[in-house]
Amino acid sequence: MSQIAAAPSTGANRAAQLAALEFAQKKPRSLWQDALRKLMRNRLAVIGLVITGLLIFTAIAGDWIAPYPYTRQDLLRTAEGPTWDHLLGTDEVGRDLLSRIIGGARTATLVAFISTFFSVVIGMVMGIIASYGGRWANLLVTRLIDITMSIPTVLLAAMIAATFKPLILNQAKALYATTGWAALKNTGWLELLIVFGGLSVVFWPVFARLIRGQILSLREKEFIEAARAVGVPEWLIALRYLIPNAIGPVIVYMTFTLSSGMVLESSLSYLGIGVMPPQASWGNMIQSNIGSWSYRPWLVAVPAATLAIATLGVNFLGDGLNDALNPQSQTSKVV
Amino acid sequence: MFKYLTGRFILAIPTLLAVMLIVFTLTYISPFDPVKLMLLQNEVRQQDDPELIARIRRQYGYDQPYVTQFVNYITRTVQGNWGISINGQRDILKAVMATLPISAQLGLAAALITALIGIPLGALAALKQNSWLDYFIVGGTLVLRTIPVYVMGPLMLILFVLVLHWMKVPRGWNGLFNSQTTLPIIILTFGPLAVVVRQTRQAVLEVFSQDYVRTAKAKGLSTYATLVRHILRNALIPVVTALGFITEGLIASSVFLDNIFAIPGFGSLSENAFRQLDYPVILGITLVSSILIILTNTLVDLIYPFLDPRVTLES
């Protein structure tokens, strides 16, 4: 509103003034409604939204929409091209490729959401400790962020997963031998758990740094100072003013972390330390067939293209959210 | 100047030590037992002899407390004794030194090409801000960046070899200036290209709104001359700042790239180490990567004041 009041009332921009007046008379829209409108006007973001929605739907409904169980082999029909009963063909040991792609979507989405959730929680706690815990806490957390960030993401995640995987799997095996719990027999979910852990460790610093920066810059703003001056307690300021103002960038970062999570899960599985066959992951599907790309190209191309489309879709959504929620920021959060 | 240089490098040491602590702790708790490995490698008969194991453990200090072992690890690393790989029993430092130059050549070539393409593209995007060309450049490079290397590699191979028949299967390493390196270098540039384009575009837009650019235009300088003489010089600063980030991206890309193209580089060493859970090698490559990133960041801090005189060396 301040811009309208400040506009000089010369005849030249009367049209603008009229438009502004019309704008002012309309029912005020909330920040979120405004953001939603902007998001829906962005064509790429809508495409991204559709892809992300499809991905989540596939992850939830995977078992019902997949034509076959993704671990079922038909050894008489290995590495076939697309046919009517196997729409995308079969893989090197005769599993239905479409069902494996759907299974991979579940793995990727699950890992992406859970590791993003964990890293946001850890990052938020660390960010709050850094900004409210005094000088030493701030120094400690910022150093920890710097150190974690000076090890390449893939290497750190791979290293954590490689270290803990044999440990946890051996423990589970020992526990299974003594207790006989059926849950420990299938180690697929343990592999997932290890990937969640590795990814959370590499993702939290981004959130901690972001939240710390947001709190530090917002605390100096006039409206926070005004609230403090009239005696609003510090926790209420945090709840009422800091969190609502800081949430936009956090949501944007979460979207980008979702797509990085999917890529990293595939990368770890590609390196053989994430999700292993017969569990389905796009990364291990690419890996199992990369040696034979020249005579069975579709077994590499299909999971590769799926991974590319999924990450691009989520990133488009993130970019759209960035434009919608942080109109002032010019920088993209992807790079 | 010299004092500043040493100061900068001393500042990097705590970070490096912390990285080593993390890496060491991870191996310390991992199920990897160096003593059993040693017995296996030397083909000792009594592999399970507890007395022998205990003696070797004592001799090499593996029975010492955690802190002592960490200090020993640092001493050994500084002395150049990085251990021997489980698979193939190669000296790790030698393996790193043999593979790193290959990856460094590829990485530098990719970085150079990225700068040569990325900076003009970024400037062009800024000049045509919010046009379809701008969206195409920024969006296109972003698409290339988002797609992982192990997806791009096989897809490009399928496209160029199987569909278009433009080339034979490019495999192996016969020096940098060889047609085999074309595809790997192109794929390596995809990662940092988007970063350079975005940074340049952003910087050019920012500089455009400065008074001295308006002055340059007002005195009749052409857009091209303004761009080269006044804008690009200032726009380079943020690109240089992103160098550490770019280095990290190149290292990560090479991990997945090398084996696809059968390049005996640092990435190939890393990928095989992870695949075989070769902990001593994993330790070594993580350490080398972190050293490279920390060095690049220190270097950026050093050249920053020369690009931007407002930043003084001492601050």
What is the distance in angstroms between the Cα of A76 and the nearest Cα belonging to chain B? Answer: 27
Domain that holds residue B111: 98-307
**Helix B279-307 × helix B232-241 angle, to 10°:** 150
CB contact under 8 A, A147 and B15: yes
Q: Give CA–CA dist A163/A275, Å, rounded.
A: 15
How many other CB atoms are there within 10 angstroms of residue A155's CB atom? 23
Q: Residue B174's pLDDT is what?
A: 76
Indicate whether B146 and B81 sit together in one domain: no
Any alpha helices (H) in B128-263, and if so which ranges? 132-146, 149-157, 182-208, 211-218, 223-226, 232-241, 243-260
Domain stops at, among B59, B92, B125: B92
Q: B27 to chain A nearest CA, in Å?
A: 7
Task: Output the domain CATH number for residue B201.
Answer: 1.10.3720.10
Domain boundary among B57, B92, B127: B92
Is the same domain home to B88 and B236?
Answer: no
**B314 domain-assigned:** no
Lowest mean pLDDT, pick from A162-166, A169-173, A219-223, A331-335: A331-335
> Do B141 and B255 belong together in one domain?
yes
pLDDT value of position A279: 81
B308: distance to nearest CA of chain A, Å?
Answer: 21
Q: Is B221 left (phi over 0), alpha (psi -120 to 50) or beta?
A: beta
Q: In a 10 Å sphere around its CB, with 0-12 CB exposed, 13-18 middle and 19+ buried, how is residue A73 labelled? A: middle
B34 and B106 part of one domain: no
Residue of A nearest to B139 (CA): A316
Do B128 and B221 reside in the same domain of the chain?
A: yes
The answer to the question of residue B288 being in a domain is yes
Q: Is residue B259 domain-resident?
A: yes
Mark yes or no for CB contact A152/B248 under 8 Å: yes
Q: Is residue B149 part of a domain?
A: yes
For the stretch A130-185, pLDDT in tens is 888 888 988 889 888 888 888 888 888 888 888 888 888 888 878 888 877 776 66
Distance from CA of B215 to the nearest CA of A (A): 25
Residue B47: pLDDT band (50, 70, 90) is low
Residues B225, B294: one domain? yes
Q: Which of A44, A163, A300 sits opposite B30 (nearest CB)?
A: A163
Q: Choose, out of A140, A144, A163, the residue to mutate when testing the contact with B (most B CBs < 10 Å).
A: A163
- The C-alpha atoms of residue B273 and residue B284 are separated, in whole angstroms, by 10
Tokens of B232: 């690009």
Residue B200 belongs to some domain of the structure: yes
- The CB density around residue A331, as the number of other CB atoms within 10 Å, is 12
Tokens of A13: 């921009």
The answer on B238 and B120 residing in a single domain is: yes
Contact A150 B251 (CB under 8 A): no
- Rounded mean pLDDT of B10-22? 84
Q: pTM of the full predicted structure?
A: 0.82
**Six-digit token pair at B290?**
């972190």
Partners of B91 in beta bridges = B84
CB contact under 8 A, A271 and B271: yes
- Contact between A89 and A68 under an 8 Å Cβ cutoff? The reply is no
Q: Residues of A37-71 as b/e, b for ≥16 C-beta within 10 angstroms?
A: ebbeebebbeebbebbeebeebbeebeeebebebe
Mark whether B122 and B82 lie in a shared domain: no
**Is B313 a domain residue?**
no
- Domain end, chosen from B92, B124, B140, is at B92
Number of neighbours of residue B24 by Cβ within 10 angstroms: 19
Cis peptide leading into residue A278 (ω within 30°): yes
Q: Is B148 helix (H, G, I), strand (E, B) or coil?
A: coil
**B8 and B71 fall within a common domain:** yes
pLDDT value of residue A62: 77
Token pair recorded at residue B31: 């199920």
Contact A282, A97 (CB under 8 A): no
- Measure CB to CB from residue A293 to each of B31, B158, B255 and give the nearest one: B158
Measured over the CA atoms of residue B25, residue B27, residue B31 and residue B36, the dihedral's sign is negative
Report chain A residues whose CB lies below 8 A from the CB of B154: 286, 290, 293, 297, 300-301, 304
CA distance B158 to B156: 5
| Distance from the A23 Cα atom to the nearest Cα atom in chain B, whole angstroms | 25
Residues B171 and B223 in one domain: yes
H/E stretch holding A235: helix A234-237
Structure tokens given for B106:
């590829």
Of B30, B161, B277, the CB nearest to A294: B161
Domain-located, residue B252: yes
Residues B91 and B162: beta-carbon distance below 8 Å: no
Residues B84 and B130 grouped into a single domain: no
What pLDDT shows up at residue A22?
Answer: 65
Q: Which of A155, A290, A297 sits opposite B162 (nearest CB)?
A: A297
Distance CA B15, CA A145 (A): 11
B74: pLDDT strictly greater than 70: yes
Chain-centroid distance of CA A59 in Å reads 14
Nearest chain B residue to A44 by CA: give it. B139
Nearest to A169 by CA among A154, A190, A148, A183: A190
A9 pLDDT higher than 60: no
Give A85-135 pLDDT, tens digit per residue: 777 777 777 788 888 889 889 889 988 999 999 999 999 999 988 888 888
**What count of CB pairs under 8 Å joins A to B?**
146
Number of compact structural domains in chain B: 2
Please report the ipTM that was assigned to this predicted complex.
0.81
Nearest to B26 among A160, A301, A305 (CB): A160
In a domain, B66, yes or no: yes
Average pLDDT, chain B: 82
Q: Between B16 and A19, where is the model more confident?
A: B16
- Are B43 and B120 found together in one domain? no
A50 pLDDT above the threshold of 90: yes
Band of the pLDDT at A29, cuts 50, 70, 90? low
Distance from chain centroid for Cα A156:
18
Q: Flag if A152 and B198 touch (Cβ within 8 Å).
A: no
